[in-house]
Structures are given as C-alpha cells and as structure tokens.
Structure 1
Amino acid sequence: MEMFQTAQGGDSLPLAGHPLFSSDDLDEARDSVARVYCDHRLEVMGKHRFMARHNRLSGSALSINVMTYNAKTLIAPGALERFYLFQLPIRGHASISNGETRYEIGGGSSGVLNPDAETCMIWSEDCVQVMLQIEKRALMETARAELGLPSGAPLRFSGSNDMRGAQGRSFLGLLQYVMAEAARGGIVLGDGSLLGKQLERTLMAGLLQTQSHGLPIACEGRGPMTRTVRRAEGFMRENLRSPIMIEDIARAAGTSTRAVQTAFRDRYGRSPMAFLRDLRLERAWEELSNPSQQTSVTNVATDLGFFHLGRFAEQYRKKFGCTPVETLRAALR
C-alpha cells in the first residue's frame, strides 16, 4: 500500500536493515523460508526471473516480515500448525486457498491464514507482501483477553479484509511505525522490554479488530476493568447455574443496579444480563465439547437456565457459528 511504498521509495523493500536472505536459487529460497515458517512446496509459474528477498524483524510472540519472489509463484505449505499469518500485498496481489475458503488479497485488502487449514497460495509477478507471523498460542490468549474467546474454542479467520478504512489504516499506521523505528534502531521487538511486549500485544489486538473472525468486538476500546465490574463478573461466574437477577449482581458488586449497568456498558458495550447470557453460552460450549456419554443438549441448556431450547440453539449458533447438536456430535465422534 501507499504508506509503505512512500516510506521506502524505489525498489528497496521495507525493513531493509533486517535482511533474512536474498537468493535467485529456488531450493535455497525454499530452505531459508522453511527455517522460519514451515516446510512447503515452492514452484515458479511465470516466465519472470525468480528472485526471492525476505526481510524479517523478530519479536517474542510475533515477527514482521516483508517478502517478494519477483516471479509468479505457487506456495503450498499445507497446514501452518504453529502460527497464524497475516498477509498484506503492498504491491501486486495473491490468490489464497485456506481450507474451504478462497479469496484474493491486494489493492488494499489483507487476509489471515488459519493454522489448522491446508493452505495454497499463488503470488503474482512482483508481488511484495508485509506479513505478521504470530504464534497461535499468543494470538488465542489475546483473543480470550480482548474478545472473550472461550477457553478451548477455535479462533478462525475468514476471507479478505479492506484495510483502507479508518481502523485498517490505524492498524497499518502502527505497523509502519514499528518498522520505521526498528530501521532507526529505536525499537526492537523481542528484547524483553515492557514497551516491546506492549507493542506486540497492541499489534495482535489491532489484527483482531480489523480481520474477519466472527467474534464480537464490542468490548474493544471500552472503559477500564473497574472494581464494580470485577466483583460482578466474579459473582456471575460462580453462579452460572443459579437463577440470578440484576439486583443480585448489583448487591454482590456493592452498588446500585443503575451503576452496575453503566459500568458494564462502559466496559463491554452490553448489559450485565447480556454478559451473563454469554458466559452461560460459553459454559455450554465447554460442556458440549467435552461430553460424557450422558451429556445431552437439553440437560446442558436447562442446567444453565436456558429453558426455551429453540432460542438457546439460535443464540448458540449466532455466537459460535454452529448448533449445540453439531458441537456435541463432533465431540462424540
């Protein structure tokens, strides 16, 4: 994109001060990339001269990469397994196949490869990509903290994302800032500093904010975790199977019903009772995903206070993208 190209100028790649390798030998390029990503198939498809260049800034849980192959190239790594990979062509475009999802990136659009899906990509001639390689564990921890991803639930991205809007440009502006500071020696990811760790966490949160994944993001950018919210949330988690009301939550938090409602809307953008419903849905997912032979959808739902099974199934499907029955059947296979 323009912000990266303008900053660098000419044919030099961003992060020029952090080269990983440069080679016109296909086997050497494949081996060099495999050392930091994973083993893969690499084939030249076009007639353009092959020349791979790869710059890399390594952090603790993620790395920032800039790469080109010059020629039209097929890259087939299979399942990435250990990491997610954010990709943004700043020149050219790429066709992506990640599991059952097919999409194009380039011209301001980006995408994220899921680690558990078979992947195959075709990069156009002169395609240059900025990529974030993020450890699977670290990104899922961030999703749990920032978006309430249930423990054990998958985090799956889908399709391309237009990065030309306000949120996309803000995220890319931060990414460009880190790269520019690294080029000047001002900031080095992975040095163990508090600033380095915070930058990595902010980049992961920005990725979650700008890429399609189906998780609610209403809580992002909200207010602080106040004592009222902490007390109320703790009370809810301890009483998921009890018929509690807003008055019970306010009493446990030591405040009024109006104050606890305001605190939750400031923090999460939703009411305490809506938050409680989501906690119960997450517990239902956990129990249906780890069933015994006696587990049933009806028992799990009613035990958690969902007595209208049709409404429960719809709320569950909206939150997790599948029905309770599908979760249970998959777990019992």
Structure 2
Amino acid sequence: MDLFHSTANISTLPMSNHALFASYDIDEARAEVAEVYCDHRLEIMGQQRFAAQHNRISGTDLSVNVMTYGAKTLISPGALEDFYLFQFPVRGHASINNGANQHDIGGGTSGVINPEAQTTMIWSECCVQVMIQIEKRALIEVARAEIGLPAGATLQFAGANDVRSGEGKAFLGIVNYVMKEAERGDVLLGGGTLLSKQLERTLLVGLLQTQSHNLPDVSLGQTGPMPRIIRTAESYMREHLRAPIMIEDIAGAAGTSVRNLQGAFRTRYGRSPMTVLRDLRLEQAWEELSNPSQETRVTGVAAELGFFHFGRFAEIYRKKYGCTPVETLRAAHRMDGAGSF
C-alpha cells in the first residue's frame, strides 16, 4: 500500500482486517462513527450510493483510521472538543470549515481539525481518507516538550499542507508502515510497550513538524527538542503544583544547579523557572474553575495552588486569561446549570 498512489475503493480499503463497521445505512453509520469520534450530523449530498466503511487501529493516545462514505456527504460534528483530527485523502478530496481554519485537502495535501472550533466538512464522492485521531491532552504535552508551546497557550493548526515530499513524505511513510504492519496482523500501537510509546510519540512529533500551526518556526528551527533539564524540571513542577517547592527543589529534581536551571529557562523561554511554575499553577486554576463541582471556591483553588494573596492572584489571572477567576467560575456554573457558588 502506498498512500500517495492508492487506488483504494470500498472493497479494498487499507487495514480491511481491522474493520470497525461497514454499512449502507446512513443512520447506522452515524451511530457507529459517533461511538469513536463524537455526535454529528451526516447527510448525503450526491447521487452515488451511500456505502460507509471504517477501519481502525487504536493506540494509547491516538488511533489510525481509514474511512469512506462512498457518496458525497456533509459531516457536521460541531466542536470535536477532546481531540485533534489529522486527515489525508488517498482518493478524492474534502472541503473543511473549522472555524477560521478553512481549507481543501486531497491530491497530496493534508490538514488538521482543531478541537475548539465548530466544524463542517464535505467529502467528495468516493473520497477515502486516512485519519489520525489524537487526544488533545497528549498532543499539547508533546508540543510543550518538543517545540516549546508555552503553558496555557493553545495549539492551533491552519490550512492545507503539501506532504508529497520532504518531512511530509517521511511522516506519511511512518503512517504507511504502521498500517502495513496492521494488515499483516501486527498492531504496533498501544499495548504499553516501549516501542508502541516511542512510535506514537514519533507520529505526534511528525504531525507537529509537517502541519502548519500557530507556533513560530523558531520553535522548530533554532531551539530544537527541549533540553532534558527543562523536560525534567517541568515534569517535577507539574507533579508538585500544590506543594510549597522552591527553586532549589526543582534544580535538584532536574539534576543540575540553580544557576544552570535558570540559564536553561532563560534561554528557552526568556523567563525564570519560578515564573513558569506560576504559569503552570495559573493554568491548573483555570482548568479547575472552568470545570467546577458545586463545592469549588475561588479562594480554595487559589490557596491549594499556593496563591495566598487573593488580590494578587486575581490580578495575574486576569492578565493571563482576560477575565477574573470569579468570572470564570460564574460562567462555568451558568453553562452547567449548577447555580450560584
């Protein structure tokens, strides 16, 4: 199987020995797809007979999928919310409207759907797509570790990407390898082995390197992979967001001196380690206030994360997120109907 020269049709889709479903019934297909993606609207637009087929192998943080609807179709899932979706048509083409991210893919181009924006797609007749569904959390973690995505920042993809040469072709070569092995009966993803973990990470890094996004090129070019000191330090910080840790504790966990740690963070981010720690704590505060229980209180969240001066906490929170902590909590309660706090 060659993803660039595939003649895939409904009866010979790649990974046919890993079929999720096949159906001529649009309601059945919608229900089956909703089980692994999300609820969505699905409508037939063309004259071609509707004939859906979906093959899928699942890993820990991503899945590789091959899918067709046969007929020209409109798919409107709204916001994907919890996952990014890489799409590469091996036959036909598709038009994607993902908020401000609007593009056409096919003929050697691919694209990624962002989880936050409302999405509508139109697939051409006989369109066959290879898709990688990626947990949002996992891709964000890799983007932070590999290309310096700042804490609290969003990762937004945009436009179509030519993957017929260079790094794009190499990335698809890895996808092709995973699919070929699955066809031979050897699913390399999942299972918790070192190989499967490394392979999934390689796919995520490849996605970041080949698909256009909102991070500047310098993130990939000049800084390269994140130094071990910073990776270890940030991992320690995330594990101790509620603990009263000092810079000496972080340096010790990273196996370096305070001076070297400060230099590494200044070079990478232009900020001190303790400022990065503060931002990680602010991010955690935003997460908890945006997804509250009835018992959630702003003062309690702030205190647990080491912000004992409430006025100062509210000020830096507003500068980072454009609203106060109280406003975040009120909005979350309004949305879920939990009432006042």
Amino acid at match of 1:113: I
Change (3 A) 1:55 1:229: closer
Amino acid at match of 1:133: Q
SS of 1:145's partner is helix
Aligned to 2:2: 3
Change (3 A) 1:285 1:146: same
How far apart are 1:293 and its partner, in Å?
5.2
- Map 1:215-230; keep pairs closer than 5 Å: 215=215, 216-218=219-221, 222=225, 225=228
Residues 19 and 56 in structure 1, CA contact (< 8 A), matched pair in contact too: yes
Amino acid at match of 2:322: R
Aligned to 1:277: 270
Aligned to 1:213: 213
Amino acid at match of 1:277: G
How far apart are 1:46 and its partner, in Å?
0.8
2:88 and 2:41 map into 1 onto residues whose CA distance is: 21
Alignment partner of 1:329 is 2:322: yes
Any stretches of 5+ residues in structure 2 without a counterpart? 237-245, 249-255, 287-301, 303-309, 328-341
Could you tell me the percent identity over the aligned residues? 51
TM-score of the pair, normalised by structure 2: 0.70
Aligned to 1:109: 109
Change (3 A) 1:8 1:188: farther
Change (3 A) 1:224 1:41: same
SS of 2:16's partner is coil
SS of 1:3's partner is coil
2:102 and 2:85 map into 1 onto residues whose CA distance is: 15
Aligned to 1:78: 78
SS of 2:156's partner is coil
SS of 1:96's partner is strand
How far apart are 1:282 and its partner, in Å?
5.6
SS of 1:159's partner is coil
Residues 62 and 132 in structure 1, CA contact (< 8 A), matched pair in contact too: yes
- Map 1:1-333; keep pairs closer than 5 Å: 3-4=2-3, 6=5, 12-215=12-215, 216-218=219-221, 222=225, 225=228, 238=247, 252-253=259-260, 273-277=266-270, 327-330=320-323
TM-score of the pair, normalised by structure 1: 0.72
Amino acid at match of 1:238: I
Change (3 A) 1:22 1:143: same
Q: How many residues align?
A: 280
Q: After the TM superposition, which of the residue ranges 50-59 and 207-216 deviates more from structure 2?
A: 207-216
Aligned to 1:308: none
Residues 147 and 225 in structure 2, CA contact (< 8 A), matched pair in contact too: no
Amino acid at match of 1:3: D
1:45 and 1:222 map into 2 onto residues whose CA distance is: 45
SS of 2:213's partner is coil
Residues 146 and 220 in structure 1, CA contact (< 8 A), matched pair in contact too: no
Any stretches of 5+ residues in structure 1 without a counterpart? 240-248, 255-259, 265-271, 301-323
The runs of at least 4 aligned residues of structure 1 exceeding 4 Å deviation read: 5-11, 219-224, 227-231, 278-297, 324-328, 330-333
1:89 and 1:15 map into 2 onto residues whose CA distance is: 15
Change (3 A) 1:279 1:78: farther
Residues 229 and 253 in structure 1, CA contact (< 8 A), matched pair in contact too: no
